[in-house]
Amino acid sequence: MSYTAPLADILFTLRHVAGLDRFIADGLAEGLDADLVQSMLSEAGRFAEEQLAPVNKLADSEGARWDNGRVTTPAGFPAIYKAWREGGWNGVSAPAEFGGSDLPLMINTAAMETTTSACMSFSLGPVLTHGAIDALAEHASDDLKQAYLPKLVSGEWTATMNLTEPQAGSDLGRLRSRAVPAADGSYRISGSKIFITHGEHDWADNIIHLVLARLPDAPVGTKGISLFVVPKVLPDGTLNDLRCTGIEHKLGIHGSPTCSMSYGDNGGAVGWLVGEANKGLACMFTMMNRARVATALQGVAIAERAYQQARAYAADRLQGRAEGQAGDVSPIIDHPDVRNNLLTMRALTQAARSVVYATAQAVDRAERGGDAAAQARADLLTPIAKAFATDIGVDVASLGIQIHGGMGFVEETGAAQHLRDARIAPIYEGTNGIQAIDLVLRKLPRDGGAPVKALFGHFESIVKQVRANKDLADVARQLDAAICDARIAAGWLLDPARTTPERLAGATQFLRLMGLVSGTALLAGGVAAARGSNDPASARMTGLLHFLANQTLPSVSILAQTLRDAASSLVLAEVALELG
């Protein structure tokens, strides 16, 4: 169950797929160079390998515990968190003004990949704090920034995101928590929140909750939601009127406390408005967009860990004699079916990594270069990255169990933990169904489809580069056909003759095909760009690219066809959903 940070693959993706070298050359990351990135990521990888990976299984079996409002995280977590924040990992891409290193999001993404692979339940605490830092930096008043950002950036305090209530999950318009203005300009918050990640824990002296609530007379639905900062400990050192009433017993990420929170049982928790009244959802979206990239990364990270474990097991486990091999028994890695499963795991992981890092790069270009086209690309890629990467996280972890046979189904090997941990990522941060809806109803039709057309244009320029390499002729052919199918599917969805039910019925198929095409095209661009560079990962990436192009891209044509038939299939089969 050891873990080795895949530094060569991460650096390849950063440099050749996400275009880090060009990004630096364009003057968008002052003081950063390839050597610095490499040494920083090796440090992050070492921390993950030595400190976090060894506690992952214990964190799963021990879990977080609740006792009368107090939450104890698994043994070792508080000390590891202290070392982690003292190492400066919390503030990698936080604003320098508040003590951060102000590095691009793609660098933080690379560092967090190793943290998350090593122990996903640990990584969730920092992920929420990172999102809150972004939301406060962009929307809070100067006073609130000064009061909270320095300690959140250093990691001395942590933060949470409080959206969900029992009756308000995907549908935040049903949210009921209340905020009443007080004479001193603050607010009194009351209400119950559920499923709050790291809502209470033993890592820090203060926890800063970002809470969505309604002001008196606020409009109904999502237009009447405001965002408040509600600290556990108030500036005068007294405890605020809030408590953790319990934690969930759940399928995976046992080390991360998922808390029920009660605000205002004794008159109202003190909070301060962030941004404008009734514009809370827009402010929270800053946090959610950041958290969506981080959640996408969880899919990649767990897939990588599951692959590494399955690869090691397959080399060790002896069963049957593989065709053409000497002796009477072979390691199972020599059987074509097992090799096929392992390559599927690794190729999908790299495709998803390519999409996630490219999304982070688009966010960086938009933020640092004020580049509107990059913002449109980031907006388009975010739901694709979130849903595609977290879905493949589950698929890959499940294949990992298959490779272990019966030993995968029992807890002893740890293969099952990866699937249990991976399973939450398609659910939180907007379920993958909601991501698909966001893609087809909002991101795709934006500006008459200009962002998606620009993305296809970029992919077609990659095909030209790939075609210049004779050994990649199969890749160019498959990619060209898949982009063509994806263009047709997008055109069909954009056609004004389509009804909304037709678009909704085929949304998930469209998102999946966009994930496959984007992951393969971006990797192909990286492979072509790395030619002649002696990059240590080049040969491996070329192998994975052939596999993706020939074994997964053909499914794009089927997805493009099924999405068109999806609405009529639902009608033809609707009788099957009736009771009885």
Ligand X SMILES: Cc1cc2nc3c(=O)[nH]c(=O)nc-3n(C[C@H](O)[C@H](O)[C@H](O)COP(=O)(O)OP(=O)(O)OC[C@H]3O[C@@H](n4cnc5c(N)ncnc54)[C@H](O)[C@@H]3O)c2cc1C
Catalytic amino acids?
429
Tokens in use for 381?
């890629």
Q: Does 163 bind ligand X (CB under 6 A)?
A: yes
DSSP 506-561: THHHHHHHHHHHHHHHHHHHHHHHHTTS--TTHHHHHHHHHHIIIIITHHHHHHHH
Check binding of 424 to ligand X (CB under 6 A).
yes
434 binds ligand X (CB under 6 A): yes
Which CB sits closer to ligand X, 250 or 498? 250
Taking the complex as a whole, the smallest distance from the CB of residue 101 to ligand X amounts, in Å, to 25
The residue from 73, 108, 158, 197 that contacts ligand X (CB under 6 A) is 197
Among 149, 196, 242, 348, binds ligand X (CB under 6 A): 196
Is 428 near ligand X (CB under 6 A)?
A: yes
- Residue 269: strand, helix, or coil: strand
**Toward ligand X, which CB reaches closer, 193 or 404?**
193
The span of 113-121, 138-146, 155-163, 181-189 binding ligand X (CB under 6 A) equals 155-163
Q: Among residues 190, 258, 309, 520, which is the contact residue for ligand X, using CB under 6 A?
A: 258
Hunting for tokens 């897939």 — which residue is that? 303
The site map against ligand X for 33-62 (x = CB under 6 A) is ------------------------------
Q: How far is the CB of 425 from ligand X (least distance, A)?
A: 10
**What is the DSSP secondary structure assignment for residue 240, as one 8-state letter?**
P
Contact with ligand X (CB under 6 A) among 78, 369, 414, 433? 433
- Nearest Cα residue to 252 out of 400, 432, 69, 56: 56
Segment contacting ligand X (CB under 6 A): 115-123, 189-197, 277-285, 295-303? Answer: 189-197
Those residues with Cβ within 8 angstroms of residue 211's Cβ, 6 or more apart along the chain or in another chain: 162, 177, 189, 193, 227, 228, 229, 230, 263, 271
Under rule CB under 6 A, residue 154 binds ligand X: no
Q: Establish if 170 lies at the interface with ligand X (CB under 6 A).
A: yes
3-state secondary structure of 49: helix
169 sits near ligand X (criterion: CB under 6 A): yes
Residue 88 as a binder of ligand X (CB under 6 A): the answer is: no
Pick 499 or 534: Cβ nearer ligand X: 499
Residue 365 Cβ vs ligand X, minimum distance, rounded to whole Å: 28
- Site residue total, ligand X (CB under 6 A): 18
| Closest listed residue to residue 292, CA positions, set 208, 381, 223, 398 | 381
Crossing angle for the helix pair 473-494 and 450-467, to the nearest 10 degrees: 170
122 binds ligand X (CB under 6 A): no
DSSP string, 306-369: HHHHHHHHHHH-B-SPPTT-SSS--BGGGSHHHHHHHHHHHHHHHHHHHHHHHHHHHHHHHHHH
In whole angstroms, the minimum distance from the beta carbon of 108 to ligand X comes to: 19
Cβ contact 214:280 at 8 Å: no
Please select the residue that binds ligand X; options are 427, 441, 484, 570, rule is CB under 6 A. Answer: 427
Distances, alpha carbon 167 to alpha carbons 163, 188, 531, 556, in Å: 11, 22, 54, 37
Using rule CB under 6 A, residue 164 touches ligand X: yes
State the SS3 of 356-412.
Answer: HHHHHHHHHHHHHHCCHHHHHHHHHHHHHHHHHHHHHHHHHHHHHHHHHCHHHHCHH
Given a contact cutoff of 8 angstroms between Cβ atoms, the answer to whether 381 and 435 are in contact is: no
Residue among 250 and 487 whose Cβ is closer to ligand X? 250
- Report the SS3 class of residue 211: strand
Stretch that binds ligand X, among 12-20, 192-200, 274-282, 364-372 (CB under 6 A): 192-200
Burial (0-12, 13-18, 19+ Cβ within 10 Å), 546: middle
The answer to the question of residue 161 lying near ligand X (CB under 6 A) is yes
| Smallest separation (angstroms) from ligand X to the CB of 426 | 9
- Per the CB < 8 A criterion, the answer to whether 8 and 536 are in contact is yes
Binding flags for ligand X, 464-493, as an x/- string (CB under 6 A): ------------------------------
- What's the length of the chain? 580
Q: Does 72 bind ligand X (CB under 6 A)?
A: no
Whose CB is nearest to ligand X? 169
What is the binding site for ligand X (CB under 6 A)? 161-164, 169-170, 195-197, 250, 258, 424, 427-428, 431, 433-434, 437
